[in-house]
Structure 1
Amino acid sequence: MRTKMLRWTAGRRALVVALVVTLTVLWQWASWSGDRGLSILYAACAFVYVSGAVAGSVLLSRWTWRHRAVAVVTGMVAGHSPAGESLMASMPFVPLGRRLFHAPRLWSYWVAGNVTEYDFVMPAGMTLTLLNRWREALEQALNRKVDWRYGNLLFTLRVIKAELPAAVAFGELARLGAGQAGELVFCVGWGLLGPVWADLAALPHLLIGGVPGGGKSVFLRQLVTWLALANPPERLRLAFIDLKGGMELNLFRRLPHRLRPVLRQWRECGSLLEELNGELDRRQAAFDRAEVVSLAEWNRGYPEAGLPHVVLVIDEMAELTAVESGDKAEKAARQGQLWLLIRLCRLGRAVGLHVVCATQRPDTDAVPGQLKANLPATMAFRVRDPVNSRVLLGDGHPEAANLPPMPGRGIWQVDGQVEVQTPWLDRAEAAALLASAYPELAGAGLRLVEPDGEGPAWGSER
């Protein structure tokens, strides 16, 4: 139940005014009539009033400390907002009404367990971007995690009294993940309010970045393992590009979901990207003829000719996207591959083609603007400086540079962003889980749309 603070404050003030008026009338009446009974009544009322004032002050002090976020936010906004800076400079000369207009007002608040939400009416000129810039300072002042949202003309501050775990086991989250709704659901990690889930089919592409040792490779490993365990080859196909020499993704080289062997050199990637773009074109043509607009709608309408989701996984994307080269032929080849990758990201969602890119060098060369604009979801682990953080999370978001040096700690960003501890899954455990689920570990064909455009059929071994 939300407490309406403005109405409560107005009612409290009206009650105080009524008590003061009552005491004044009783005093005047007692003085004029000389009635001893009225004098006693006045003394009793005065005692009750003073006692209530003392008790109210104590309760107000306790409330103010418990909800000190209100005072901290008021001070920050009044002192730093565009309107508040000039206001604070001339505070003694500013009428009270104008001060209230330029200061945030608490509209309501709500407490549920470890979470407290405050709805504020902010002064003109205050934006969600400005408030998010002060989030770190606010968290230090409150010793709590905070989150800002905006809706219905109110700015909502969520204060969370909880701590992230230092480590989360993959198996623990896998047990909790049973029954999650979605097509390609996986667990991002453990947030302050519990597990954070995502559906790759809805995202539909993902960028992962962070310094070596931050958790990027482990997150990629658990993501692919999760998808492979939850989806048989008939529903999911995987393509792998590992430009770190195959050291990480060769764990999945014998999965029945694979399209090709794991590619280890950037020169080998052109044919795979062309194949996936060709599949994109064939699916678009088939969907157009069938008058459907998504893979889910196609599979519902044509279950006998169902098509799988295709996920392209790229580790160390910088080796593929860094197009600058002194050799003109190499530069042209790299630019062509980058264009094919961007096209997959731009058009792949509706036809069920998804891209997961990881890099330990999140700069503008490794993550060009056109590519970043088509990667709507980001998993940012610790980076070296705020510039790298802004490349991953966007302007005004240096938070990834301030993450603690703890493996697996990252920031998940889709529409908003949340700090999480990602699942830990070592190579031996991942290999054992996959071997248990797919004991044959044999290749299988890819169900694709035939190149002649007649319709979907079982393709040849790729």
Structure 2
Amino acid sequence: MARLSGIQRVMEVGMMISCAFSFFLLLSLAYFHPSDPGWSQAGMQIDVQNLMGPVGAYLADILLFTFGVTAYLVPFALAFVGWFIFLHIKSVVELDYLTITLRLVGIILLVFGFTGIASINFDDFYRVSAGGAMGDIISDALLPYFSFVGTVLLLLCFFLTGCTLATGISWFQFIDSIGASVIYTGKMLITLPSKLSTLSLPDLRKSIGKPKDDDFYDSPNQDIHITSLRAEPPAPEKKAPTFTIPAEIFDDLAEPTSTLFTKSNIKANVTQANAARTAAANSDSTQQGRVDALAPRESLLDDESSTANVPLGCEDLSANAKAPVHAEPPLASSESLPVDTPKALLPSFDLLQRADKVENPITPEELQGIARLLEAKLADFNIQATVVDVLPGPVITRFELDLAPGIKVSKITTLAKDLARAMSAISVRVVEVIPGKSVIGLELPNTHREMVRLSEVIGCAAFQDNPSPLTMVLGADISGEPVIVDLASMPHLLVAGTTGSGKSVGVNVMILSLLYKSTPEDVRLIMIDPKMLELSVYEGIPHLLTGVVTDMKEASNALRWCVGEMERRYRLMSALGVRNLKGYNRKVKLAKEAGQPILDPLWKFEESMETRAPELEKLPSIVVIIDEFADMMMIVGKKVEELIARIAQKARAAGIHLILATQRPSVDVITGLIKANIPTRIAFQVSSKIDSRTILDQQGAESLLGMGDMLYNPPGSSITTRVHGAFVDDHEVHAVVADWKARGAPNYIDEILNGDATGDILLPGELAEKNTDEEYDAVYDHALEFVTETRKVSISSIQRKFRIGYNRAARIVEQLEQNGVVSTAGHNGNREVLAPPPRKD
């Protein structure tokens, strides 16, 4: 059992003392006797009848004399305050002086109002007033001026105002909820007769005679059924409002700001952003049956365990509505394959939590004030700029500025921190280039940040209508439009971000996107999780080619298997005369439909027990997901970098894709070899500009807000896109995984983790590995940690450090060299440590 820290001990002891004292006061007040000696009188009897003794009688007398019947609420109030501080110590510490002052004033008004009302409306309690001395003082002071009714109204106002200031309860919302409940109840009572009239029962005749055509008497054993309620007609679908921003606001940039930045223009932008984010909540859900394409896996995917797929946040856009902006261009028709008719439904969107969308509280007047302030602060730094457009979003607001002639963008970039201080913002990001516009952008964080949930993005048409099985969701852009990408066109992805930046949640969103888009026949996964925490939840889903890999030696074998599978697929495509995996699957499918299946051209009689070559089947895409490949490189060595580079160079046409994630975007992890072969990158919040340049080749990631805020660098472009990552909770991940597990067990391939580096999967200059389990040295792991920390390696240093013999130390150094941890000995006998240093938490 873990021991408590210092502050935890103090808080727990304080909680116990608070509860004990509150219970003591409660019993003292419950057993109060007016004849006991106390603070307000001297009792005539020596024996105290209060259960808590003289101290309890004294405290009860003070409370009752001061507050009257309100004193019975004091023990509960003390217990609640102690419990609240114990559970919410962090939020209590973060309270500002204004909040504390308002709550204290609220408590005082609450006590004044309650005691005053009790004093003038209730009879005396024992020998004291019902409101106590405090209530008598307040009521006696108000009654001569406001009479009885006025005093009651004023004290009631004190009570309600104090309750709002102390607890934050909104009485207007309370009244609205009561009104909504009354209206709902009234509608139910009005529609109840019409619903009851839909119930039909057969006439039960008491007479002996009956008509000859009565079906009920002809079939006496027939059951009597009550018809179900008639379904109400679906409500008309609400479409997002369309609007047009006046073009004349961009005609003359030299005019004063008042003519360019009007209230109507700001309101149009706010309406556009709100409409894009709330259209999902206003649209009616429509059931869409989506079927699995697995013909040979009928036993794996059971139709009975499937549920209907109801997309959330999906809307039908009219022809005049603005088309959503996506990070990926639409796929060419020649590259898209016809979608097969599935046999089993994909998971339902009901497994995801619906988004509670609220309208952005910021008003056009507030945006206009911020724009004026921004112009004034830039003028303080001798920068003349005019705000020409404002784009409010769920997390940040972009202000587009037209700079005066001669003003360089680099001058504003260097003032980003000064602008953040002047605008009282956490950070300010400068967008130097906006495609298609001659302005720059300044992105300021919103005061009220909205959460972008996966359920409101994954149900959009851009995701549903994309024919690629590797379609993934990233989140929403700065204006709230969904950002959908295709892993097949990347074809590999590099993700980096510090701890707490939302990197792990982003990887989970990508995985769930694949699980909602593709079946095990279309996409198979290999997951490598050195931390044994992030990806272990996906263990057992049918998409996996092997179990979640946590041992780094097995991870190296998995990458080698991918290299071998890549080479095998290339030989198959070469034999069939196709250029990529899509062409291969199309040709295999057409041959089967024609009744002439293609036999495996790589089959060899002497290597198989079969007498005939097997038929070629559809090959799925393979996605390799490595959660923390920096730890993998540190343990396995530089061979991991070479394996990743080899896969990244050639595996696109073979349908093998990589998703690499790390929280250490340093040059010894994201090396030049990896960056050269993985052009598509995502940067979450990083700690410095150097890390941002390492992952994106440009700064900007250090100014992100965290919690899923990212910069996406699409393939073939140097212009990054800011994306607010979608959020998915742990229970949603477990629900989707459980849904896939219910369809059947995965079909693992044992050769992935147990295969040896032989044949065409050997790296240049590498020999075939032998089984060295019997020669494994227990000191090797400690020697590896010692070498990577000290950055020095020699046989004598290992011999002295671990007090072992020369031959044993020499074998350990040779193993370090074979595993790529250290280099070969130079002309002077020195070796260079190639593996990165261990991560320090």
Q: What's the TM-score, normalizing by structure 2?
A: 0.37
Cα distance in structure 2, aligned partners of 1:319 and 1:392: 17
* Residue 171 of structure 1: aligned partner: 455
Shift of 1:5: 7.0
Amino acid at match of 1:202: S
Shift of 1:160: 7.7
Question: Is the 1:139–1:146 Cα contact (8 Å) retained in structure 2?
Answer: no
Matched, 1:429 2:732: yes
Amino acid at match of 2:529: D
* Residue 626 of structure 2: aligned partner: 314
Q: CA 1:73 to 1:344, structure 2 compared with 1: closer, same or farther past 3 Å?
A: farther
Instruction: Tell me the SS of whatever aligns to 2:625.
Output: strand
Match of 1:413 among 701, 709, 713: 713
* Residue 50 of structure 1: aligned partner: none
Q: CA 1:136 to 1:298, structure 2 compared with 1: closer, same or farther past 3 Å?
A: farther
Amino acid at match of 2:647: L
Q: CA 1:367 to 1:113, structure 2 compared with 1: closer, same or farther past 3 Å?
A: closer
Instruction: Tell me the SS of whatever aligns to 2:464.
Output: coil
Shift of 1:311: 0.5
* Residue 535 of structure 2: aligned partner: 249
Shift of 1:264: 1.0
Question: Is the 1:435–1:441 Cα contact (8 Å) retained in structure 2?
Answer: no
Match of 1:266 among 548, 552, 567: 552
Matched, 1:337 2:640: yes
Cα distance in structure 2, aligned partners of 1:262 and 1:300: 31
Amino acid at match of 1:355: L
* Residue 200 of structure 1: aligned partner: 487
Instruction: Tell me the SS of whatever aligns to 1:384.
Output: coil
Q: CA 1:367 to 1:192, structure 2 compared with 1: closer, same or farther past 3 Å?
A: same
Instruction: Tell me the SS of whatever aligns to 1:293.
Output: coil
Shift of 1:150: 6.6
* Residue 43 of structure 1: aligned partner: none
* Residue 401 of structure 1: aligned partner: 702
Matched, 1:232 2:516: no
Shift of 1:365: 1.6
Match of 2:475 among 172, 183, 189: 189
Q: CA 1:289 to 1:149, structure 2 compared with 1: closer, same or farther past 3 Å?
A: farther
Match of 1:213 among 500, 512, 516: 500
- For residues 425-458 of structure 1, the C-alpha deviation after alignment (integer angstroms, 9 at most, x for no partner) is 2222211122224413411367x9xx999xxxxx
Matched, 1:60 2:256: yes
Question: Is the 1:233–1:256 Cα contact (8 Å) retained in structure 2?
Answer: yes
Question: Is the 1:238–1:310 Cα contact (8 Å) retained in structure 2?
Answer: yes
Shift of 1:3: 5.5
Amino acid at match of 1:172: E
Amino acid at match of 2:703: N
Deviates more, 1:197-206 or 1:426-435: 426-435
Instruction: Tell me the SS of whatever aligns to 1:310.
Output: strand
Q: CA 1:76 to 1:207, structure 2 compared with 1: closer, same or farther past 3 Å?
A: farther
Shift of 1:294: 2.4
Identity %, equivalent residues: 25
Shift of 1:149: 3.6
Question: Is the 2:392–2:478 Cα contact (8 Å) retained in structure 1?
Answer: no
- For residues 192-225 of structure 1, the C-alpha deviation after alignment (integer angstroms, 9 at most, x for no partner) is 1222111111111112222222211121122112
* Residue 278 of structure 1: aligned partner: 564
| Bigger Rg over Cα | 2
Cα distance in structure 2, aligned partners of 1:318 and 1:8: 50
Map 1:84-99 to 2 at 5 A: none
Map 1:374-393 to 2 at 5 A: 374-393=677-696
Instruction: Tell me the SS of whatever aligns to 1:201.
Output: helix
Cα distance in structure 2, aligned partners of 1:270 and 1:391: 25
Instruction: Tell me the SS of whatever aligns to 1:322.
Output: helix
Any gaps of 5 or more consecutive residues in structure 1? 10-58, 80-102, 324-332, 454-462
- For residues 275-314 of structure 1, the C-alpha deviation after alignment (integer angstroms, 9 at most, x for no partner) is 1001111122222333332222333333253321100010
Question: Is the 2:413–2:430 Cα contact (8 Å) retained in structure 1?
Answer: no
Q: CA 1:226 to 1:112, structure 2 compared with 1: closer, same or farther past 3 Å?
A: closer
Amino acid at match of 2:512: T
Map 1:445-460 to 2 at 5 A: none
Deviates more, 1:339-348 or 1:436-445: 436-445
Map 1:26-45 to 2 at 5 A: none
Q: CA 1:295 to 1:7, structure 2 compared with 1: closer, same or farther past 3 Å?
A: same
Any gaps of 5 or more consecutive residues in structure 2? 1-245, 263-370, 593-616, 752-757, 761-841
Deviates more, 1:159-168 or 1:250-259: 159-168
Instruction: Tell me the SS of whatever aligns to 2:669.
Output: coil
Matched, 1:443 2:755: no
Shift of 1:120: 8.4
Cα distance in structure 1, aligned partners of 2:392 and 2:690: 37
Question: Is the 2:250–2:260 Cα contact (8 Å) retained in structure 1?
Answer: no
Cα distance in structure 1, aligned partners of 2:433 and 2:577: 39
- For residues 73-122 of structure 1, the C-alpha deviation after alignment (integer angstroms, 9 at most, x for no partner) is 9989997xxxxxxxxxxxxxxxxxxxxxxx99x9xx88999888778898
Question: Is the 2:547–2:748 Cα contact (8 Å) retained in structure 1?
Answer: no
Matched, 1:349 2:349: no
Shift of 1:407: 2.2
* Residue 27 of structure 1: aligned partner: none
Matched, 1:292 2:578: yes
Cα distance in structure 2, aligned partners of 1:290 and 1:130: 58
* Residue 82 of structure 1: aligned partner: none
Question: Is the 2:497–2:685 Cα contact (8 Å) retained in structure 1?
Answer: yes
- For residues 168-189 of structure 1, the C-alpha deviation after alignment (integer angstroms, 9 at most, x for no partner) is 2222222226524252111111
Shift of 1:353: 0.8
Question: Is the 1:148–1:155 Cα contact (8 Å) retained in structure 2?
Answer: no
Amino acid at match of 1:287: M
Cα distance in structure 1, aligned partners of 2:623 and 2:453: 25
Shift of 1:386: 2.0
Deviates more, 1:161-170 or 1:214-223: 161-170
Shift of 1:410: 2.4
Cα distance in structure 1, aligned partners of 2:685 and 2:422: 23
Point out which structure has higher relative CO (alpha carbons under 8 A, 6+ apart): 1
Question: Is the 1:257–1:443 Cα contact (8 Å) retained in structure 2?
Answer: yes
Q: CA 1:72 to 1:5, structure 2 compared with 1: closer, same or farther past 3 Å?
A: farther
Amino acid at match of 2:712: W
- For residues 227-281 of structure 1, the C-alpha deviation after alignment (integer angstroms, 9 at most, x for no partner) is 122110000010011111x211111110111111111122222211111001111
Cα distance in structure 1, aligned partners of 2:577 and 2:380: 54
The alignment covers a number of residue pairs equal to 360
Q: What's the TM-score, normalizing by structure 1?
A: 0.65
Instruction: Tell me the SS of whatever aligns to 2:488.
Output: coil
Cα distance in structure 2, aligned partners of 1:408 and 1:439: 31
Question: Is the 1:317–1:357 Cα contact (8 Å) retained in structure 2?
Answer: yes
